[in-house]
Amino acid sequence: MSEPYFSSLKCRECGRLYPKKAVHVCEYDFGPLEADYDYERIKSVLTRALIQSREKSMWRYRELLPIDGEPTVGLQVGFTPLVKADRLAKALGVKEIYVKNDTVNYPTLSFKDRVVSVALSRAKELGLKTVACASTGNLANSVAANAAAAGLDSYVLIPADLEQSKVLNSLVYGTKVIGIHGAYDQVNRLCSEIAGKYGWGFVNVNLRPYYAEGSKSMGFEIMEQLGWEIPTHTVVCMASGSLLTKIYKAYHEFIKIGLVPESKFTVHGAQATGCNPISLARKSGTDLIKPQPKPNTIANPWPSALRRTDIMRCGPWSRRVAGRRMRRMRRSLRASSCWPRRRVFLPRQRAV
């Protein structure tokens, strides 16, 4: 790529522009910073044919990802299967259903490889030597593995009582694991307070404007794999809310640059009963999301401390899923040969 297609970081609150450094919030109102793209230029170069001529990875959409040059980390990440699940559709009484199976992502079998690839590619462009993250497991594994492959030093900060199996998965890559006495929210807050102090790149803190954009690649792939169209309904597990909002953004970006026709679509968020702060906030008509410090669910989600995010703009809406129903759905997915670790899609029309 000769000239980057993103020129700066832009505050989502006030629109102020910032240089493309390791910063994540606006100095004036603390609004989150987001990559600002030149869509007109992208529209003039990025075609379906060009995308299809490239390697089957998330980087085939590189013009819409926030790096200056060629990607250097996680070149094999993405382009995971979109599985048409006919038996599942029949079991659920819907016409057509697909499951985006990111459990086969490379190298750590989760969608975190997407976001980490972008964050670390950008970290290398910024000359950072050490990367880090706050995590409850999957992100730690991905940072550890991709940093090792990229020759970067890494630290992962986790709640001290995290399951040993998850800790071991990170340790095998040679990362430094730091256990913090506290819940994930507290670990995350600590990282936010120390980001910048040591000159490290925290992928989900000061590298977040780059990191978060990696999630868009899942939306890009879904549209391409469906034959360049947007599914009527997309159901996404909520987690931190970032994946949902970025899939939504991906759909709008493809419309904007003319790669898919404009159509009506809805992105739904799902949260497990026992850890559904966003769903509860929505139902009570508030945008103040109260963390649930002691989640009680078989899902293993994050007890969100998100506040008033773009999630509210994504449309109707978040549903809670009880543990018993979740087990029943898992059985249905097994019967359909689709066993997603992270996503269950429950549409009425064509959906993902």
Partner 1 sequence: MSIEVSIPTPLRNLTNNQDTVQVSGNNISEVIEQLDVQYPGIKERLADEQGNLRRFVNIYVNGEDVRFMQDKATAVKDGDEVSIVPAVAGG
**Where along the sequence are the contacts to partner 1 (CB under 8 A)?**
13, 23-32, 112, 133-136, 138-139, 184-186, 188-189, 191-193, 195-197, 204-205, 208, 212, 239-242, 288, 290, 302, 304-309
The residue ranges of DSSP E strands in 82-216, in sequence order, are: 82-84, 98-100, 130-134, 153-159, 176-180, 201-202
Tell which residue, 65, 54, 29, 57, has the closest CA to residue 246: 65
Q: Which two tokens stand for residue 67?
A: 């790096």
Alpha carbon dihedral 286, 292, 295, 299, in 10-degree steps, equals: 40
Q: Minimum Å distance from CB 294 to partner 1?
A: 15
Q: Minimum Å distance from CB 338 to partner 1?
A: 25
Q: Minimum Å distance from CB 208 to partner 1?
A: 7
Q: Minimum Å distance from CB 57 to partner 1?
A: 22
* Nearest to partner 1 of 147, 333 (CB atom): 147
* Nearest to partner 1 of 138, 234 (CB atom): 138
Q: Minimum Å distance from CB 252 to partner 1?
A: 20
- How far is 350 from 352, CA to CA, in rounded Å? 7
Q: Minimum Å distance from CB 147 to partner 1?
A: 15
* Nearest to partner 1 of 11, 333 (CB atom): 11
* Nearest to partner 1 of 198, 339 (CB atom): 198
Q: What values do phi and psi take at 97, rounded to 5?
A: -145, 145
CA angle 135, 139, 142 (to 5 degrees): 140
* Nearest to partner 1 of 108, 225 (CB atom): 108
DSSP code of residue 261:
-
Q: Minimum Å distance from CB 142 to partner 1?
A: 10
- How far is 337 from 352, CA to CA, in rounded Å? 16
Q: Which CA distances in Å does 124 have to 14, 74, 149?
A: 29, 12, 12
Residue type, 264: K
Q: Which CA distances in Å does 40 have to 69, 77, 248?
A: 19, 27, 20
Q: Which CA distances in Å does 79 have to 67, 130, 158, 314?
A: 19, 28, 29, 24
* Nearest to partner 1 of 252, 290 (CB atom): 290
Q: Which two tokens stand for residue 46?
A: 């990025």
Q: Minimum Å distance from CB 309 to partner 1?
A: 7
Tell which residue, 146, 128, 140, has the closest CA to residue 72: 146
* Nearest to partner 1 of 223, 305 (CB atom): 305
CA 180 to chain centre: 24
* Nearest to partner 1 of 133, 338 (CB atom): 133
* Nearest to partner 1 of 204, 217 (CB atom): 204
Q: Minimum Å distance from CB 271 to partner 1?
A: 13
Contact 272, 298 (CB under 8 A): yes
